[in-house]
């Protein structure tokens, strides 16, 4: 298919495109976002390597997509009131692919694998919201609640959704996204069974 050299060129090209897009989203936390993105990919790679989890290229691409949307494009949280909600809906579907890949290696029944995947996804959602709350309390990062940039100044933010409402809607959307992943897996499972 692709040689190693061509794959490297594709990855570098994607990186350059992402960096170009980020340049248009100039923000004071630019280097922090770049560092966070690189760190997330490195941590994923080292966990995959040391624990021999067997993640494939498509799994790396999913992680890069999640990290790009959640970390690199984080200024969009303060530009679009719907960006956070879209991510809380879509990211559980993408994370479900990674989680189910690991759980699918076990000898459990298909239904049990789905239940564990769903429970794990809901746990991740809850931990994520706990993390947002904790970081807000410690660093005042404004992770909970929906804020928009005020046109009178780049650092001024105007809250447009209460912190509690934001957290509950995020959990609901994440749960719906997780259920969509589970429903899709059930549909694929039975479709493949009928084809045999």
124, 170: one domain: yes
* pLDDT tens, residue order, the chain (196 aa): 557 667 667 666 666 665 555 444 444 477 778 888 888 888 889 888 988 889 999 999 999 999 999 888 888 888 888 999 999 999 999 999 999 999 999 999 999 999 999 999 999 999 889 988 988 898 887 888 888 877 665 556 788 889 999 999 999 999 999 999 999 999 999 999 898 7
Q: How many domains does the chain have?
A: 2
Same domain? 94 vs 133: yes
Per-residue confidence (pLDDT) for residue 153, from 0 to 100: 56
pLDDT at 93: 96
Domain boundary among 72, 99, 120: 72
Domain boundary among 20, 41, 72: 72
Whether residue 128 is found in the same domain as residue 83:
yes
> CATH number for the domain including 166?
1.10.1520
| 80 and 65 together in one domain | no
Rounded Cα–Cα distance for residues 141 and 189 (Å): 42
| DSSP assignment of the chain | ---HHHHHHHHHHHHHHHHHHHHHT--TTHHHHHHHHHHHHHHHHHHHHHTT----HHHHHHHHHHHIIIIITGGGGGT-TTHHHHHHHHHHHHHHHHHHHHHTTSSS-HHHHHHHHHHHHHHHHHHHHHHHHHHHHHH----SSEEEE-TT-TT-EEEEE-HHHHHHHHHHHHHHHHHHHHHHHHHHHHHHHHH-
Give residue 157's pLDDT.
Answer: 77
* pLDDT of amino acid 28: 47
Q: Which residues pair with 146 in a beta bridge?
A: 161
Asked if residue 85 and residue 166 are part of one domain, the reply reads yes
On whether both 141 and 188 belong to a single domain, the answer is: yes
Whole-number Å distance between alpha carbons of 88 and 91: 6
């Amino acid at each position: 298919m692709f040689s190693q050299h061509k794959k490297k060129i594709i990855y570098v090209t994607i990186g350059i495109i992402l960096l170009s897009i980020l340049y248009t989203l100039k923000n004071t936390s630019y280097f922090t976002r770049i560092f966070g993105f690189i760190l997330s990919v490195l941590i994923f790679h080292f966990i995959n390597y040391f624990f021999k989890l067997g993640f494939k290229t498509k799994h790396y691409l999913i992680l890069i997509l999640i990290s790009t949307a959640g970390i690199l494009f984080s200024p969009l949280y303060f530009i679009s009131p719907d960006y956070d909600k879209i991510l809380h809906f879509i990211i559980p579907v993408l994370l479900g692919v990674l989680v189910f890949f690991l759980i699918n290696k076990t000898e459990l029944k298909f239904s049990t694998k789905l239940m564990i995947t769903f429970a794990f996804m809901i746990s991740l959602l809850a931990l994520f919201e706990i993390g947002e709350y904790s970081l807000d309390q410690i660093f005042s990062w404004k992770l909970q609640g929906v804020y928009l940039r005020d046109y009178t100044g780049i650092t001024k933010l105007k809250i447009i959704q209460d912190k509690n409402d934001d957290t509950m809607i995020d959990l609901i959307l994440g749960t719906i996204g997780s259920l969509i992943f589970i429903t899709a897996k059930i549909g694929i499972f039975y479709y493949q069974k009928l084809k045999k």
